[in-house]
Amino acid sequence: MTPEAALAEIEAHADAERAKGARAYHKSDRLHLGVPNPVLNDLTKSWRQSLDVPARVTLADGLWCTDIYEARVAAAKLLTQARIRPDAEAWDLIASWVPDFDSWAIADHACMAGQKRLVADPSRLDHVEGWTVSDHMWTRRAALVITLPWTKRNNPKPQDIEVRGRVLGWAATYVPDHTWFIQKAISWWLRELSKHDEQRATAFLAKHGDAMKPFALKEARKYL
């Protein structure tokens, strides 16, 4: 399947009124087609079933390059799968998208795909760590969003606990940055962590909470 053919399938479900609302909601100048997320789920599921991994990577790359909202979301969904073998090209493509992030919705869809690849190969965290010192706010934010799976384990292995400490170290360096999306990402990570590791989340907040924005601190404490 070519990117042009896939885009035509997406465009067949376009809704101008929905597109107008979505564009306003996302505060974006990017072209929106107004295609609902469940439709994109169904389309990308059928494409995944009919394409091998190299073809999926090629299609995802082509869709991303259109810079159309739904096409970029579909590109991420094409690669959101726990088992992709081999997955080096998929990971490389997802990582190459990070500098393009400019809105939370597309970034979060891409990070969901990246989460699967990180869990499959945690050594990739070394790559992600480089994002934490980027001048690009969305890249720094992505380092926390893409590592969210490590907040959610009730019975973490020693290596999982090590990752938690590592990412919390990144989060600590972010605390002085009061950019809304950075503060939100910190609070999101801590809120999710607190459901499964209250002690570690509480310790972070005891040390850094006073330096966080009030809205972020409140969100981080939601389940404590």
pLDDT in tens, 3-15: 999 999 999 999 9
Q: Would you state the pLDDT for residue 85?
A: 92
Q: How many CB atoms lie within 10 A of CB 167?
A: 23
121-224 adopts what CATH topology? 1.25.40
Q: Is the pLDDT assigned to residue 29 strictly greater than 90?
A: no
In DSSP notation, 4-15 reads HHHHHHHHTT--
Pairwise CA distance, residues 179 & 125, whole Å: 24
Distance of CA 175 to the CA centre of its chain: 20
Max Cα-Cα span within the chain: 53
Q: pLDDT by residue (tens digit) across 39-71?
A: 999 999 999 999 999 999 999 999 999 999 999
Own/partner long-range contacts of 161-168 (Cβ < 8 Å, ≥24 apart): 163/122, 163/125, 164/193, 164/197, 164/200, 165/200, 166/125, 166/129, 167/143, 168/200, 168/204
pTM of this structure: 0.95
Rounded to 5°, the CA angle 21-23-25 comes to 65
Task: Report helix angle 180-194 to 137-145, nearest 10.
Answer: 10
Distance CA 145, CA 185 (A): 7
pLDDT for 168-216, tens place per residue? 999 999 999 999 999 999 999 999 999 999 999 999 999 999 999 999 9
Tokens of residue 122, six digits: 């945690």
User: pLDDT category, 28, cuts 50, 70, 90?
Assistant: confident
Domain boundaries defined on the chain: 1-100, 121-224
pLDDT at 174: 98
pLDDT at residue 86 is higher than 90? yes
